[in-house]
Amino acid sequence: MTSVTPNIVLIRSSPIALWGIDSQERLRRAFKRAGIAVTGQSAGGGVAGTEQPTLLIRADHVYEESVIRALIRNPSHLLVTDAGVPVAAHIAPGGDIDAAAALLQSEATVASGALPAGLSTVVDPAALASTYNHALRKRARPYVLPLTPETVPAIEHRMFHGAYKGVTDFVTKYVWPVPAMAVTRWCARLSISPNMVTTVSFLCVLAAMSLFWHGQFLAGLAAAWMMCFLDTVDGKLARVTLTSTKFGDVFDHGIDLLHPPFWYYAWFVGQGAVIGGSGQDALQTAALWIIIAGYVLGRGQEGLFIWLYRIEIHTWRPIDSWFRLITARRNPNLFILTIAALIDRPAEGFLAVAAWTIVSFLFHCWRIAQAGWQRMMGHRPCSWLTEPLVTPEAWRTERRGGSGLRGSGVP
């Protein structure tokens, strides 16, 4: 590990753009996000033996951000593709930068045998960077891919799906990807920023709330689903173009966190229900408080699990990740309300959301209790997504009672 910021030098540039950004600019943004400015464009010419670490990197390849960050942290490492072609070198102080640059300029595969001074270890992306992305709650093999006109569609597809959260609701996971990728590409080509998309999303929040309030449920649902769709697009656009900002993150997540209770209250009012009334009004009022309390307590459960066990409740075991698909959060609740509105039963849909909120809350209470019991037994709960990726053969062996890869007696 190094505490000295390396000098970044790009070599073998490429004019090919991904998501409207050429590879040199993409690398500059990636290093800037890691806190380092790119200071050079080419290597060579009397720089061997410098006392500052130097990171040479080919700009005719595409690198996942986790690989970039891992490269910065690991001096004396030569990064090769899965095919063994050298693409980046973090050269320790005093190393031979000219020889390392010549190695990167070649297309020959390389082993650990004879490396230039300043390099001692040859690694591929999977050996260098983690397969677990905590922010996106997913496991995936980190990539380094050659950039050619022929590979652009496949690379953009991989980058987009690599920006997708692995643990989320069923609408976001299965319905949005195809249209969201098309809209994300369109926004990137037109230089539409993620914050612009988030602003339109916020306007949809206000439109949906107003329409629900006035009992125009189907029109309100159209605005609500548009907001949910754009909420997917803005995050993916920020990740694939490396343009996320602290303001954008607060703006986006602030809207996500605050708007659902306002929608539920507007739906309650739109039915003509009155707090403090009797009969049907009393039933709807109870449903309103259950939904809002369930939303707040559900967020509290998630925060409690992180505080207790340092992992998200939805990433503990596979059953938790599966239940996240349908748990009583915004999109699954909107799905219930949409079915109810289509059959002209908005009040019954509201009661169904309340019932599902109770089920979801009790499920997570059960999981928190199980995690506490596991810790009492001396086993610290850890995310199944941090476990090694296994082959289908190894998984079948484990299922037959062989290797015990899951590492937990809890499902």
35 conformational bin, left if phi > 0, alpha if psi -120 to 50, beta if neither:
left
* Distances, alpha carbon 36 to alpha carbons 232, 300, 335, in Å: 29, 37, 44
What is the pLDDT at residue 133? Answer: 61
SS3 285: helix
Mean per-residue pLDDT, 30-38: 85
Amino acid type, 354: A
Task: Give the pTM.
Answer: 0.83
Burial of 37 (0-12, 13-18, 19+ CB in 10 A): exposed
The residue among 130, 55, 136 whose CA lies nearest residue 89 is 55
Q: What is the rounded CA–CA span in Å between residue 240 and residue 190?
A: 14
Chain-wide mean pLDDT for the chain?
86
Please tell me the predicted confidence (pLDDT) of residue 1.
44
Distance CA 406, CA 398 (A): 8
Read off the pLDDT of each residue in 122-132 and give the average, rounded to a whole number: 82
pLDDT band for 314, please (50, 70, 90 cuts). very high
d(Cα 33, Cα 68) in Å, to the nearest integer?
10
In this model, does residue 93 exceed pLDDT 60? yes
CA separation for the pair 59, 157 (Å, rounded): 19
Alpha-carbon distance values, 119 to 9, 111, 393 (Å): 16, 12, 36
Domain 163-263, CATH: 1.20.120.1760
121 DSSP β-pair partners: 77
287-306 pLDDT, tens digit per residue, is: 999 999 999 999 999 999 99
User: What is the rounded average pLDDT of the residues 135-154?
Assistant: 81
Q: Is the pLDDT of residue 369 over 90?
A: yes
Q: How far is CA 115 from CA 47, 49, 84, 109, 110, in A?
A: 17, 15, 14, 12, 9
Please state which of the four CATH numbers 3.90.550, 3.20.20, 1.10.287, 3.40.1350 is assigned to the domain occupying 7-128: 3.90.550
Q: Give the C-alpha separation, 300 to 355, whole Å.
A: 19
Q: What's residue 62's pLDDT?
A: 93
Buried b (16+ CB within 10 A) or exposed e, 247-257: ebeebbeebbe
Place of tokens 């640059």: 101
Q: What is the Cα–Cα distance from 156 to 35, expressed in whole angstroms?
A: 25
Q: What whole-number percentage of the chain has pLDDT above 70?
A: 86
Got the DSSP string for 342-388?
HTT-HHHHHHHHHHHHHHHHHHHHHHHHHHHHHHHTT-----GGGSP
Quick one: pLDDT band at residue 266, thresholds 50, 70, 90?
very high
The answer to whether the beta carbons of residues 340 and 346 sit under 8 Å apart is yes
Q: What is the DSSP string of 39-75?
A: EES---SS-TT-SS-EEEEETTEEE-HHHHHHHHH-T
Can you tell me the mean pLDDT for 375-400?
A: 66
SS3 assignment, position 407: coil
